[in-house]
């Protein structure tokens, strides 16, 4: 089991928000963010199982921007299995899980999409990188992904953000990329933009359901 918090939401028809912190964070970090995105949704906030100099992470890295690929694959599987267990334990819809991740958390969320077709309904990725190069992605049609990127991000270059967008699009995901003229920090502006995108997405899906689609 992974350390986590589960808060049952007011509206159980909404997606459950899976919160995934950045390096050195924990399961409390992104709770305010979830409130800004959707204050009626259930929340599953998870702490990474790996420590780097005492700082929690979701998988190991060999250097800044260089992932330990073997550990990434193992930890992605571990998180995927934990999500199955959590859905059963807390009785939320496993097929309606929406990830919100920052930095290292965004990378493990992207890795879930890369490795497992049905892991997530969608994701809001703040400053993600491409989790693995040269792999064939599953068919991600019907999945929606929001990428928040910084034009001056020293850790995750704009090229990296564009490459991730392109890979997800070529796997048929619906992707929107939002740019801030900033570095790697998580800004209020990008959270507001993500919230707007998410609400628009829910409205579209509700309309589809009204028409039996």
Query: Three-class SS string for the chain?
Result: CCCEEEECCCCCCCCEEEEECCCCCCCCCCHHHHHHHCCCCCEEEECCCEEECCEEECCCEEECCEECHHHHHHHHHHHHHHHHHHHHHHCCCCCCEEEEEECHHHHHHHHHHHHCCCCCCEEEEECCCCCCCCCCCCCCCCCEEEEEEECCCCCCCHHHHHHHHHHHHHCCCEEEEEEECCCCCCCHHHHHHHHHHHHHHHHHHHHHHHCCC
What distance in Å separates the CA atoms of residue 57 and residue 69, rounded to the nearest whole number? Answer: 14
Q: Are 194 and 200 in contact (CB under 8 A)?
A: no
Q: Are 210 and 203 in contact (CB under 8 A)?
A: no
Q: Which residues are catalytic?
A: 103, 153, 184
């Amino acid at each position: 089991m992974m350390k986590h918090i589960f808060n049952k939401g007011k509206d159980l028809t909404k997606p459950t928000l899976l919160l995934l912190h950045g390096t050195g964070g924990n399961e409390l970090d992104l709770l305010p963010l979830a409130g800004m995105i959707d204050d009626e949704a259930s929340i599953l906030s998870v702490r990474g199982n790996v420590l780097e100099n005492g700082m929690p992470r979701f998988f190991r890295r060999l250097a800044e921007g260089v992932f330990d690929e073997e550990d990434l694959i193992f930890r992605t599987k571990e998180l995927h299995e934990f999500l199955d267990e959590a859905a059963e334990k807390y009785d939320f819809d496993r097929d309606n899980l929406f990830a919100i991740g920052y930095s290292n958390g965004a990378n493990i969320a992207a890795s879930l999409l890369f490795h497992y077709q049905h892991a997530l309904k969608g994701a809001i990725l703040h400053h993600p990188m491409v989790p693995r190069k040269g792999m064939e992605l599953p068919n991600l049609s019907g999945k929606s992904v929001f990428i928040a990127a910084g034009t001056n991000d020293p850790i995750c270059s704009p090229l990296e953000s564009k490459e991730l967008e392109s890979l997800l699009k070529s796997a048929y995901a619906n992707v929107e990329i939002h740019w801030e003229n900033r570095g790697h920090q998580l800004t209020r502006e990008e959270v507001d933009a993500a919230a707007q995108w998410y609400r628009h997405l829910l409205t579209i899906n509700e309309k589809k359901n009204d028409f039996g689609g």
